[in-house]
Amino acid sequence: MSLLQAVGDFEIQTAKVITSAGIEVDLLKNNMVAHIVLYEDTTMSSLSGEILLSDSFAFTNVGPIIGQEYLKLKIKTPSITDKENTIDFIDNVFVVNSLQNRTTVGNSVQTYILNFTTSELAKNQRTKVSRSLKGSYSDIVKEMLKDELDCRKNIYIEPTAGSKRIIAPNARPFDIIRMASREAVSKLVNDKVSSYLFYENIEGYHFRSVGSLYAQGSVQSYTSFIKGANISNGGVDIERELGNVLDFEIISGSNSLVNYTAGVFGSDLIVHNIFNKSIKKHSYGIFENFDKEQHIASYHSKSGKQFPIYSHMAVEDNGKTAQDFRSKIYVAPISQNGVADAQHNTLNDTTPFTPSDPQNWLQFRTSQRVQLEQGFMVNILTHGNTVVKAGNIVKLDLPYDAAFKTEKNEQNDRFFNGAFLVKRLRHDFDFGEKKHKTHMTLVKDSLDETLDGSGNPEPKSGSAKIIDSREELYPRL
C-alpha cells in the first residue's frame, strides 16, 4: 500500500478507453493522460467529467475515438484503502459522450478532451416510461434506478411516507425521480421532513432529505492559517495541511428581494379538494416554523439549537416582520376522500393510496431549497483527497479579517465558521504538477445564535407629494 508523502498526492491505478470497435486503449501505458476533472453536485443527477489526452498514436483514427466509448477509471488518495473513498469505475464504467477541442500541437501529437458521464444518465436519455407506478415514492425511485436504468451501484434511499399511484406520461426515469423528490416526505422522522435531493457522488446514488445530510458527522475540517504554521518537528504536518484553505471567495448571501418573491419568509397555500368541493388555506412563516424544520445548526451547533439566517426585526411601523407578508400564494388541487386519494383506486375499487398533501411539503420545501441557494455560501480551494464528497458535512473556520477589533476581539468570522454542506465540488488531477486539488462550494442555512431583531422599522419622514399639474408635466406648452 502506498503512503501519502505530500498533500495533493494521488494514485491513478486504471485509465482505459474501450472504443466502439472493442479496442481497449491503456491511457496510462501510452502516457496519454494530461489532466482529469471530475464533477459532483447535489443539484445534478449524475457525475460528469472530462479527461485531457495527448495522443501521438492517432487513436482518434485507429480506434476510432468518436465520443461513443467507455472509460474505466480508478483513482485514490494514497494510504486510503476503503472502496467508498476511492474513485472506482472499473465495474461500472463511465460513458464517453463527446470529443472536443481536437488540436494538433506539433510533432504528430494531438490533444483533445473526452467528456464523460455515468451510464445511468446515458440510458436515461434513451428510456421512456409509460405505465402506472405504485408504492411509496422511495419504492418508485428504486424501481426507476434498478429496473429501468439497470443501476448496479450503491443506492442510498431515505424511505418515504404514504402509498402513491402515479401515471408516468412517457417520461424519462430521472424526470419521474425528480417529481418524486418534490413531493416526498420522510418516513424516518416524526416531523414533516421534505426537501429531498437526488444526486450521485462517488459513493453511489442518493435519494434523501436535506435533513439526513445534515445529520451526518463532519468528514473534514478546513481553515486558513499563517504560512509556516503547518510545520511540525521540522517537517510538513500533512494531516493539518489537508485542511488548509488555499483560497476562498464568499459568493453569496441573503437576498431579501428574492426571499420575498419566492416565499422564503412567508407564503399562503390554498388547497382545493375537488372531491368534496372544499377549500382550505395554509399559512407559512419562517420564524414560527423554523424549529419544525431540519437545518444544519440543529445537528452541529454546540447548543443544539437552530436559528434563521434572517433577522426578525419589524419592517413596518405596525410591528410586522418579514414573515407577516404572504408575498407568495400557491394554489394546489387535490382529490381526497377522508385520508385516501380519491383520484386513484385499485381493480377492486378500493382506495389505499395517499393524496399528494401539498400542505406537508410545498411551502417547507420551497423555503428551504431557496435558503440553500441564498444562504451563506463560499467557494474554497483545498488540497485534494477522495474522502470529501458532494453531500458531506465539513467544518469551516475562516478568520475574522478587519482592521477594527471589537471588545470581543473575534478571531473567527461570525458566519463563515462551523458546519457547512458540500453543495458541489470539482476534483482536479493535474498530471503535469502531479497534484490533486479540490474546488468546493459550501453552504449553510442556519445559525446557532439568533440575529438581533430589536432594530427600528424603516426610517421615513414627510409625506408623498403628487405632481400632476399641466404646468409641471408640460412646461413648454
Q: Which of 255-269, 274-288, 345-359, 432-446 has the lowest mean pLDDT?
A: 345-359
Q: Grid coordinates standing for 87? A: 474513485
Comparing 213 with 59, which gets the higher pLDDT? 213
Q: Which of 97-111, 365-379, 380-394 has the lowest mean pLDDT?
A: 97-111
pLDDT at residue 33, rounded to an integer: 92
- What fold does the segment set 11-118 form as a domain? Elongation Factor Tu (Ef-tu); domain 3 (2.40.30)
State yes or no: pLDDT of 462 exceeds 60.
Answer: yes
Q: Which of 38-47, 146-155, 365-374, 375-384 has the lowest mean pLDDT?
A: 365-374
Instruction: Tell me how far apart the alpha carbons of residues 95 and 105 are, in angstroms, rounded to a whole number.
Output: 27
CATH, domain range 127-215: 3.55.50.20
Same CATH fold, 127-215 and 11-118?
A: no
| CA-to-CA separations, 367 to 317, 359, 372, in angstroms, rounded | 26, 13, 9
Q: How confident is the model at residue 239 (pLDDT cuts 50, 70, 90)?
A: confident
pLDDT at residue 351, rounded to an integer: 67
How does pLDDT run across 173-218, given as a tens digit for each residue? 999 999 999 999 999 886 667 789 999 999 999 999 999 999 999 9
| Residue that has been written with the C-alpha cell 393524496 in this structure | 355
How does pLDDT run across 422-448, given as a tens digit for each residue? 999 999 999 988 999 999 999 998 888
pLDDT at residue 377, rounded to an integer: 92
Please name the amino acid found at residue 416. Answer: F
Query: Domain locations in the chain?
Result: 11-118, 127-215, 256-370
Comparing 381 with 339, which gets the higher pLDDT? 381
Q: How confident is the model at residue 231 (pLDDT cuts 50, 70, 90)?
A: low
Q: Does this model's pTM top 0.85?
A: yes
pLDDT at residue 1, rounded to an integer: 47
Q: What is the mean pLDDT of the chain?
A: 86
How does pLDDT run across 341-353, given as a tens digit for each residue? 777 777 676 667 8
Comparing 410 with 367, which gets the higher pLDDT? 367
State yes or no: pLDDT of 268 exceeds 60.
Answer: yes
